[in-house]
Copies of this chain bind each other. A is one copy, B any other.
Amino acid sequence: MSIAKTPKPPYYAVIFTSIKNAENTEYETISEKMVELVQKQPGFLGFESAKEEIGITVSYWESLEAIQLWNNNLAHQEAQKLGKEKFYQSFKVRISKVERDYSF
Protein backbone atom coordinates (compact mmCIF):
# COMPACT_ATOMS: atom_id res chain seq x y z
CA MET A 1 0.00 0.00 0.00
CA SER A 2 1.40 3.37 -0.98
CA ILE A 3 0.05 6.87 -1.59
CA ALA A 4 -2.00 6.72 -4.81
CA LYS A 5 -0.49 8.42 -7.85
CA THR A 6 -3.41 10.44 -9.10
CA PRO A 7 -3.50 12.89 -12.02
CA LYS A 8 -3.95 16.64 -11.78
CA PRO A 9 -7.41 17.52 -10.36
CA PRO A 10 -10.28 17.52 -10.95
CA TYR A 11 -11.04 13.85 -10.34
CA TYR A 12 -13.31 12.00 -7.92
CA ALA A 13 -12.73 10.35 -4.54
CA VAL A 14 -15.05 7.79 -2.96
CA ILE A 15 -14.43 7.82 0.79
CA PHE A 16 -15.63 4.54 2.31
CA THR A 17 -15.51 4.47 6.13
CA SER A 18 -16.57 1.28 7.91
CA ILE A 19 -16.82 -0.56 11.20
CA LYS A 20 -16.63 -4.31 10.78
CA ASN A 21 -18.36 -7.10 12.61
CA ALA A 22 -16.20 -9.81 14.19
CA GLU A 23 -13.79 -11.33 11.64
CA ASN A 24 -15.48 -13.29 8.91
CA THR A 25 -13.20 -15.64 6.98
CA GLU A 26 -15.06 -14.87 3.77
CA TYR A 27 -14.19 -11.19 4.05
CA GLU A 28 -10.53 -11.44 3.01
CA THR A 29 -11.38 -13.53 -0.06
CA ILE A 30 -14.07 -11.13 -1.26
CA SER A 31 -11.95 -8.10 -0.44
CA GLU A 32 -8.98 -9.40 -2.46
CA LYS A 33 -11.27 -10.25 -5.36
CA MET A 34 -12.69 -6.69 -5.35
CA VAL A 35 -9.17 -5.17 -5.29
CA GLU A 36 -8.32 -7.31 -8.32
CA LEU A 37 -11.53 -6.44 -10.17
CA VAL A 38 -11.58 -2.71 -9.46
CA GLN A 39 -8.19 -2.28 -11.09
CA LYS A 40 -9.67 -3.43 -14.39
CA GLN A 41 -12.47 -0.85 -14.24
CA PRO A 42 -12.40 1.98 -16.78
CA GLY A 43 -11.68 5.31 -15.10
CA PHE A 44 -10.20 3.78 -11.94
CA LEU A 45 -7.21 5.86 -10.80
CA GLY A 46 -6.04 4.14 -7.62
CA PHE A 47 -6.94 3.58 -3.97
CA GLU A 48 -5.61 3.92 -0.45
CA SER A 49 -6.69 1.88 2.55
CA ALA A 50 -5.95 1.64 6.28
CA LYS A 51 -7.78 0.02 9.19
CA GLU A 52 -7.62 0.47 12.95
CA GLU A 53 -10.80 0.96 14.99
CA ILE A 54 -12.43 2.06 11.78
CA GLY A 55 -11.49 1.18 8.24
CA ILE A 56 -10.99 3.91 5.64
CA THR A 57 -10.69 3.13 1.95
CA VAL A 58 -10.47 5.98 -0.54
CA SER A 59 -10.74 5.11 -4.22
CA TYR A 60 -10.03 7.62 -6.98
CA TRP A 61 -11.92 7.90 -10.24
CA GLU A 62 -11.88 9.89 -13.47
CA SER A 63 -15.61 10.63 -13.43
CA LEU A 64 -18.95 10.02 -11.73
CA GLU A 65 -19.82 7.73 -14.64
CA ALA A 66 -16.82 5.52 -13.86
CA ILE A 67 -17.96 5.28 -10.21
CA GLN A 68 -21.46 4.36 -11.36
CA LEU A 69 -20.13 1.64 -13.70
CA TRP A 70 -18.24 0.05 -10.82
CA ASN A 71 -21.37 0.20 -8.65
CA ASN A 72 -23.24 -1.63 -11.39
CA ASN A 73 -20.62 -4.41 -11.64
CA LEU A 74 -22.40 -7.64 -10.67
CA ALA A 75 -19.57 -9.12 -8.59
CA HIS A 76 -19.29 -5.79 -6.76
CA GLN A 77 -23.03 -5.71 -6.11
CA GLU A 78 -22.84 -9.23 -4.65
CA ALA A 79 -19.92 -8.11 -2.45
CA GLN A 80 -21.90 -5.06 -1.29
CA LYS A 81 -24.80 -7.34 -0.36
CA LEU A 82 -22.48 -9.57 1.70
CA GLY A 83 -21.00 -6.44 3.24
CA LYS A 84 -24.40 -5.37 4.56
CA GLU A 85 -25.47 -8.87 5.58
CA LYS A 86 -22.25 -10.09 7.17
CA PHE A 87 -19.14 -7.95 7.17
CA TYR A 88 -20.06 -4.47 8.35
CA GLN A 89 -21.71 -3.22 11.48
CA SER A 90 -21.99 0.18 9.81
CA PHE A 91 -20.43 2.14 6.97
CA LYS A 92 -20.60 5.48 5.23
CA VAL A 93 -19.84 6.28 1.59
CA ARG A 94 -19.02 9.83 0.54
CA ILE A 95 -18.63 10.74 -3.10
CA SER A 96 -16.49 13.81 -3.54
CA LYS A 97 -14.80 15.83 -6.25
CA VAL A 98 -11.12 16.54 -5.65
CA GLU A 99 -10.56 20.17 -6.54
CA ARG A 100 -6.98 20.65 -5.38
CA ASP A 101 -4.09 18.55 -4.17
CA TYR A 102 -0.49 18.93 -3.09
CA SER A 103 2.14 16.60 -1.82
CA PHE A 104 5.48 16.40 -0.06
Q: A interface vs B, CB < 8 Å? A: 1-4, 6, 9, 13, 15, 17-19, 48-56, 58, 84, 88, 90-104
Contact = CB atoms under 8 A, between A and B. Distances in A.
Given A17-B4, A50-B54, A52-B1, A95 B98 contact: yes
Instruction: Indicate how many identical chains form the complex.
Output: 2
A4 B54 CA distance: 11
Nearest to A102: B93
A11 B52 CA distance: 25
Contacts of A58: 15, 17, 56, 58
A45 B84 CA distance: 26
Contacts of A50: 50-56
Contact of A3 (B6, B92, B99): B92
A56 B15 CA distance: 11
A95 to B, nearest CB: 5
